[in-house]
Amino acid sequence: MTEGKEEKGKYTTVSIPTPLAEKIKKRIEGTGFNSISSYVTYVLRELLASMEEEEEEAFSKEDEEKIKERLRALGYLD
Amino acid sequence: MKALVIGWDCATPELVFNKFLDELPNFRKLLKNATYGRMESCDPPITIPAWMVMATSINPGKLGIYGFRHRKNNSYTDIWISNSLKFKNVPKVWDILGKYGKKSCIIGLPPTYPPLPLNGCMISCFITPDATKDYTYPVELKKEIEKEIGEYIFDVPFRTDEKDELVKNLWEMTQRRHELVKYLIQNKEWDLFWFVEIGLDRVQHAFWRYFDEQHHLHEPNSPYKNVIRDYYKLLDKNLGELLDLIDDDTAIFIVSDHGAKRMKGAFCINEWLIRNKWLVLKEEPREIVSIGKADVDWSKTKAWGWGGYYARIFFNVKGREENGIIPKEEYEKMRKKLAEEIRKAKDDKGNVMNTKVFTPEELYPECNGDPPDLMVYFDDLYWRSAGTIGHGRVHLEKNDTGPDDAVHAKHGIFVKYPADEKRIEASIYDFAPTLLHTLGIEIPKHMEGKVIK
Ligand SMILES: [Zn+2]
Residue B427: predicted pLDDT: 98
Q: Decide if A54 is inside a domain.
A: yes
Spell out the domains of chain B, with CATH numbers in brackets.
2-262+408-438 (3.40.720.10), 265-403 (no CATH)
Nearby residues for ligand 1 (ion, Cβ within 5 Å): B 9-10, 47, 201, 257
Write the pLDDT tens digit of every residue in A36-54: 988 888 788 767 766 655 5
Q: In 3-state terms, what secondary structure has residue B292?
A: helix
Rg (CA), chain B: 22
Out of A53-57, B248-252, B408-412, pick the least confident.
Answer: A53-57
Q: Indicate the burial class of B161 (C-beta count within 10 angstroms; 0-12, 13-18, 19 or more).
A: exposed
Q: What is the mean pLDDT of residues A31-35?
A: 79
User: Contact B183/B148 with Cβ under 8 angstroms?
Assistant: yes
Say how many Å lie between the first and final Cα of chain A, rounded: 47
Q: Band of the pLDDT at A71, cuts 50, 70, 90?
A: confident
pLDDT of residue A27: 86
Residue A72: per-residue pLDDT: 80
User: Cβ contact (<8 Å) for A74 and B130?
Assistant: no
* Contacts (Cβ under 8 Å, ≥6 apart) of B321: B74, B76, B298, B314, B315
Rg of chain A taking only CA atoms, in angstroms: 21
User: Is residue B58 within 8 Å of B446, Cβ to Cβ?
Assistant: yes
Nearest neighbour of B81 by CB, restricted to A64, A73, A75: A64
Shortest alpha-carbon distance between residue B186 and chain A (Å): 31
A66 pLDDT exceeds 80? yes
Mean pLDDT of A51-71: 80
Beta partners for residue B375, in sequence order: B312, B358
DSSP track, B46-71: SHHHHHHHHHH---HHHHT--SSEEE
CB contact under 8 A, A56 and B81: no
- Tell me the Ramachandran region of residue B119: left when phi exceeds 0, alpha when psi lies from -120 to 50, beta otherwise: beta
Q: What is the pLDDT of residue B17?
A: 98
Contact B124, B136 (CB under 8 A): yes
Contact B129 A63 (CB under 8 A): yes
Contact present, B376 and B341 (Cβ < 8 Å): no
The CA–CA distances, whole Å, from B279 to B120, B268, B322 equal: 50, 13, 16
**B307–A77: do the CB atoms touch at under 8 Å?**
yes
Measure in Å the smallest separation between the Cα of A34 and chain B Cα atoms. Answer: 31
In a domain? residue A31: yes
Question: What confidence tens digit (pLDDT) does each residue in B74-87 have?
Answer: 999 999 999 999 88
Total count of domains within chain A: 1
Q: Which of A64, A67, A78 sits opposite B401 (nearest CB)?
A: A78
In angstroms, rounded to a whole number, what is the distance separating the alpha carbons of residues B3 and B152?
24
Shortest CA distance to B126 belongs to which of B227, B60, B53, B51?
A: B51
A6 pLDDT higher than 50: no
Average pLDDT of the residues of chain B = 95
Distance CA B27, CA B372 (A): 40
- pLDDT for res A2: 45
In chain B, positions 374-393, which contact chain A (CB-CB < 8 Å)? Answer: 384, 386-388
Strand B422-427: give its sheet, edge to edge: B136-137, B120-123, B104-107, B192-197, B2-8, B250-255, B411-417, B35-40, B422-427
Lowest mean pLDDT among A66-70, B35-39, B362-366: A66-70
Residue B274 · residue B387 · CB < 8 Å = no
ipTM: 0.78
Mean pLDDT of chain A: 78
- Domain span at residue A42 reads 18-73
Q: Tell me how close the Cα of A29 comes to any Cα of chain B, in angstroms.
A: 37
**Separation CA B87–CA B54 (nearest Å):** 13
pLDDT value for A51 = 63
| A66 assigned to some structural domain | yes
- How many helices (H) and strands (E) would you count in chain B? 13, 20
**Does residue B376 contact residue B354 with C-beta atoms inside 8 Å?**
no
Quote the pLDDT of residue A4: 45
- Taking CB atoms and an 8 Å limit, are B401 and A59 in contact across chains? no
Per DSSP, B449 falls in state S
Q: Note the pLDDT tens digit of each residue in B151-202.
A: 999 999 887 788 999 999 999 999 999 999 999 999 999 999 999 999 999 9
Is pLDDT at A76 greater than 70 in this prediction?
A: yes
**Amino acid B196: pLDDT:** 98
Main-chain phi, psi angles of B259, to 5 degrees: -110, -165
- Average confidence (pLDDT) over B86-105: 92
pLDDT in tens, B298-348: 999 999 999 999 999 999 999 999 999 999 999 999 999 999 999 999 999
CB contacts < 8 A, A to B, total 65
Look at residue A47 in the predicted model and tell me its pLDDT.
75
Please check whether residue B291 is in contact with residue B285, taking contact to mean a CB–CB distance below 8 angstroms.
no
Q: Mean pLDDT lowest for which of B58-67, B198-207, B287-296, B425-434?
A: B287-296
Mean pLDDT of B209-228: 93
